[in-house]
Every structure is written in structure tokens, then in C-alpha cells.
Structure 1
Amino acid sequence: MESAEHTVPAKVRYINAEWKGKDDSPRIGSRESRRANTSFQDVRVHDARPRLEAGELTLDKNGFTLTQHHSAVTDFRDDNELERVYHKEMEALICRVTGADHCFARSHLIRTEKPIDFNDGYARFVHCDYNMKRLQEMSETVLETHGVEPQKNWIYVWYNTWQPFDHPVENNPLAFIDWESLPLDDVIDYYYTGRNNDSLVAAPVHSETHKWCYFPDMTTNEVIVLKQMDGRTGDRSVYCPHTSFDFLEQDDDSLPRRSVETRLLAVFEAN
């Protein structure tokens, strides 16, 4: 008989279900627009470590995984060092974890308890970072930025990495929906409008069938990898919706979460 999985309660914001099936899409890029278009839902978040250790989790099946990485970065608040050192580290990590032939970093983002603005703060509603409708366009833009000519046999997959720094995660961990519990029909379009953007992205509406997961007690030498878009055919995960969440029973003196995330284009060469 299998033992019950350890879970913690959480409140997470989903885009309001009223948007599903509408011709129009919500636009979110501020606290005000987030409040207007999202609502809290009560969920249970499962400890994913036992399934990972049992070999039951894969990026292509579930949309997320966890791996080890000891970074050579000395100052995670130094954008130049991140671009020079960390981007290369994450490109190599993605190739190692996924088997991709090439990887190109698009950007990074630092999140701490003292954000510059709404867009730098902890991600407080359930979202995907991209939209499959933009896969080709975004991939070609990143390749152009890197001075790389696309090849006809290249297939594109996008990933995120997420790593704590300064100290282990005590609060505001990252949670994500297991792809096996997420019907693609639950994912709708929305527009990210922060910092003068109007970018088409995606997010799910709430369903009781969604299985939420996280990796508790993450150390600074652990990295979450999330699937964000996948241009390959077959029965694979496409999105990994995610959000940060607060532990409902948390000591006030817990250390603030500090993390670095990168967004990367992986290239697989078709035979």
C-alpha cells in the first residue's frame, strides 16, 4: 500500500474562469489588473521529491524536474556577471538535462523581497511565461540576437530555470502544475502588459483536477527546470504553469526568498 503524499495547503491566484471561451483576453501587468482578473483558489501542493527520487518525474511527461548545479557566480545581483557566466552555465545545464543539441539564453530575472516594481516581485498568480502561438517568432528572434542562422531541421523547445541564492528557500517557494493533470483546453490566452509590453502569453483557469507540486527545502545548489513551450510532436508536456506561494503557517522570522531565473531556447536537430 502506497503511503500518502505529503502536501501543504496554499492559496494561489488563477485567471478568472469567466475569460474561458471569450473572444477577448485579459491584460495583466500591474497589481490592479491582476486583482481585477484573478481570484484566489485553495489548493494542496504535493512534495515532488519522492517521485523525483523514484524516477517517476520527467520534463517531457510532467513538465518539470530538479537538478544539481554549483554556480561560479559570485554576485547574483550583478547583471553583467549573470550574462557572462550564469547564462552559459544554464545553457550547458539545459543541454545536459534535456539532450538538446544547442541552447541559447534569452534573459534572466532576479526576484527578492525588495523588488524594483510589480514586475520584479514574486510571481503571484498562475501563469505560463509564453504562448505556443509565438514559438517560431520568439525562437527566430533569439537566434538572431545570438547571430545564429536557423537550420531547416531545427525544432524549438523553451525552458525556464529557477535557482535560489544567498540561502535555502524558507518561504515563497515555486509551485507548478503537473502536465499530466492539465488538459490543454484549460490554458487560455492573456496579454502581459508590464513595462510597456503587450505580449501574448498563456495561463490556465482553475480546475480541481490540477495537481500542484513543489520541491521543499531547496538549497542554493539546486535548480528547477520548467517546460515552457515545445515544438516537437508526440505525447509530451507543452506548458508548465507556475506561481510562488506563501506557507500559510510560516514563522515571521523566516528568511526572504531570493532567486534567479533564466529563460532559454533549446534546439533539437531532427534526423
Structure 2
Amino acid sequence: MPARIRYLSEGEFVTRRYVSRGAEMNTGEYSDHDVVIRDGMPIRDHFQLDVHGFMLGRHVSAVEDFRDAKQVELLYLAEVEDLAKRWFGADRVSAQGWMVRTSADLSQRAAEKVEGYVHAGGIQPPAGEAHVDFNEITGRRSAARVYAQAFPDGPGYRRYICFSLWRAYSPGPQDWPLAVCDGRSVTDEETASNTLFVVDEFPQGKDLTAPVEGEDQMIAATIFRYRERHRWWYFSNMTRDDVLLFKFQDSDKSVTWRCPHTAFQDVGMQDARTRTSIEVRGIAFFE
């Protein structure tokens, strides 16, 4: 179906992503591009992690209410670790935090003053541009840190995969579904790093892009400029038991090693409903 996806515009920019409670913003210039997003639901079993960078599976969670942070922490993170271990064929998996995202109006929540905001376990809007959550240095450092912390007696690893497991738990069809891009259709040529700044309130004016020492070594995502060759997919009318697993970064570059993704507005669905989803980040290790 025809849709619009937001990409980083051509040119040189200071690219940063500022996040605070209930709100996120990017610096740089972005532009919307008309693309075709294919519905993968009729061929849902066709997609493979090492071929496309993503797969759609089924899983019935023991969590009764994903809005209950205690249930998520006690039950869901372990479920995600088990699923990822089996679907990747990994030796060990460590879940590394979660986030609820919704297309509902969060303006009142974002306007509330907050001190010491932590970008985990909260409610945020859908991410609205083509991106991968890690750049290479962020993924590599995250893998080393997580393995040392989670598996201090482990023998070490030969391969790691940084990933997300995504589930929409609101009734379908969703108004802002998640689109995933076939990782074989992107290259480094159209990428840029987007440094993450977690703040209590957004900077203003020139402070948004003022120089920051050591920024090239900070946590950053990968963002993309538009290329006609990008092949986008989504899965229509996902249910609570449908889970989308996709790669942020695979250290094995002989397979498809990343999956750009973004929310997009499904303007062709007249009875679309507010999308609410939960995503869990994690790292799978092969020893």
C-alpha cells in the first residue's frame, strides 16, 4: 500500500535525538517520502532473521496487563529472553529494558515537569523516522558491557545480536503500525549517527546543536536517507499474540545484520484504532 516514511534529508546536519517524558525530538532536517509498504501478513512465515533481518512469530504471554510494570518486569522480560534464545538459536540472552509506545495524545504527560528522567519502562510516542536503535560502536560496547554484567562466569562470545521484540497489545487494526525494512536493501552509504540525549526538558535554540565533547563516542542510533531501493513491509491487523523480532545489530556481517524500522500512519484504514505496543531490547550471545 502507498504510505509516507520520514527520512533524514540530504545534506550535513548535527543529528541528535532528545528524549524526555512523553516526548521525543530530532535535530537536523527530515522529509517525508512516498513509498510502497507491502503487507507481509499473508506470507508471515516467509520472513527469516538472517535473510530479511526480521521475523513474525506467535507467543501467548502470561502477562495479563502490559500496563502493569511489575508484571512486565516479573514475567515478560524472562519470556522475551526465552523466545529470543530459541528463535535466534543463541546460547544466552539478556533483556535490557522495555518501553510502551502509543499513538494516543501524550501532550499533557510531556508537559509535566520531571527530574531525573530515565528513558526506560515508560510511555512514549511511536518513533517517527527510519532508524535502527544502535550504531555500530553503541552495539559493540553494549554487547561487551551486558555480557560482563549478566554472565560474569561465561566463557566469552563469538557473536552477538542486539535486537528488539515488539508487540502491539491494543486491538487492531492499528492507526500507526510498525514498518520494517528488508535489511538487504540498505547500505552504509545512506546512514548517519543520531546521538541520544536523555533530558528533563528540551534545550532551546542554538543549545540544541551546540558542540558536545566526545559526542562521537556517545550512545547513538543509525538513521537513514531515502533510497528508492529500500523494501518496506508491515503486518496488518496484528493481534496481542503476534510478536515481531528484528535486529538492531548482528556482529556476523555475512548475514543480514540490521533492520531499519519506523512507525507510519495507515491513512487507508478508516476504522483504525489507537496503537499501543510494548518493545523489549535485548542482546543474544553465541559462545
Instruction: Pick the TM interval, shorter chain.
Output: 0.7 to 0.9
SS of the aligned residue for 2:131 comes to coil
Whichever residue aligns with residue 72 of structure 1, its letter is A
Equivalent residues of 2:8, 2:28 under 8 A apart? no
2:236 is the alignment partner of 1:244: no
Superposition RMSD in Å? 2.4
Measured in 1, the distance between the counterparts of 2:3 and 2:27 equals 18
1:205 corresponds to which of 219, 225, 231: 225
Which aligned segments of 4 or more residues in structure 1 are displaced greater than 6 angstroms? none
Give the match for residue 90 of structure 2: 100
TM-score normalised by structure 2 residue count: 0.81
2:18 is the alignment partner of 1:26: no
1:177 corresponds to which of 157, 181, 184: 181
Measured in 1, the distance between the counterparts of 2:147 and 2:177 equals 32
Aligned pairs for 1:189-228 (under 5 A) are 189-195=193-199, 199-228=219-248
Return the offset for 1:18.
Answer: 1.0
Measured in 2, the distance between the counterparts of 1:33 and 1:254 equals 25
Measured in 1, the distance between the counterparts of 2:154 and 2:192 equals 29
Return the offset for 1:247.
Answer: 1.2
1:74 corresponds to which of 64, 69, 82: 64
Equivalent residues of 1:107, 1:263 under 8 A apart? yes
1:156 corresponds to which of 156, 160, 165: 160
Give the match for residue 36 of structure 2: 44
SS of the aligned residue for 1:52 comes to helix
- Number of residues of Structure 1 aligned to a counterpart in Structure 2: 254
Whichever residue aligns with residue 41 of structure 2, its letter is R
Give the match for residue 51 of structure 2: 61
Return the offset for 1:71.
Answer: 0.5
Whichever residue aligns with residue 30 of structure 2, its letter is T
Relative distance call for 1:25 and 1:255 in structure 2 (3 A) is same
Give the match for residue 273 of structure 2: 255
Whichever residue aligns with residue 15 of structure 2, its letter is P
Identity of aligned residues (%): 28
Encode CA deviations 1:125-175: one digit per residue, 9 max, x unaligned: 111101112223111322344363453344211110110114234211000
Measured in 2, the distance between the counterparts of 1:16 and 1:192 equals 19
Whichever residue aligns with residue 267 of structure 2, its letter is L
Return the offset for 1:33.
Answer: 4.8
Aligned pairs for 1:92-171 (under 5 A) are 92-112=82-102, 113-115=104-106, 116-117=109-110, 120-146=124-150, 148-149=152-153, 151-171=155-175
Whichever residue aligns with residue 221 of structure 2, its letter is V
Whichever residue aligns with residue 241 of structure 1, its letter is P
Measured in 1, the distance between the counterparts of 2:86 and 2:53 equals 16
Unmatched 5+ stretches in structure 1: 1-7
Whichever residue aligns with residue 204 of structure 1, its letter is F
SS of the aligned residue for 1:110 comes to strand
SS of the aligned residue for 1:29 comes to strand
Measured in 2, the distance between the counterparts of 1:247 and 1:146 equals 40
SS of the aligned residue for 2:199 comes to helix
Return the offset for 1:75.
Answer: 1.7
Return the offset for 1:227.
Answer: 0.7
Give the match for residue 17 of structure 1: 10
Return the offset for 1:215.
Answer: 0.8
Encode CA deviations 1:87-133: one digit per residue, 9 max, x unaligned: 00010010111111111000100012244449810111111101112
Give the match for residue 5 of structure 1: none
Whichever residue aligns with residue 254 of structure 1, its letter is A
Measured in 1, the distance between the counterparts of 2:78 and 2:64 equals 15
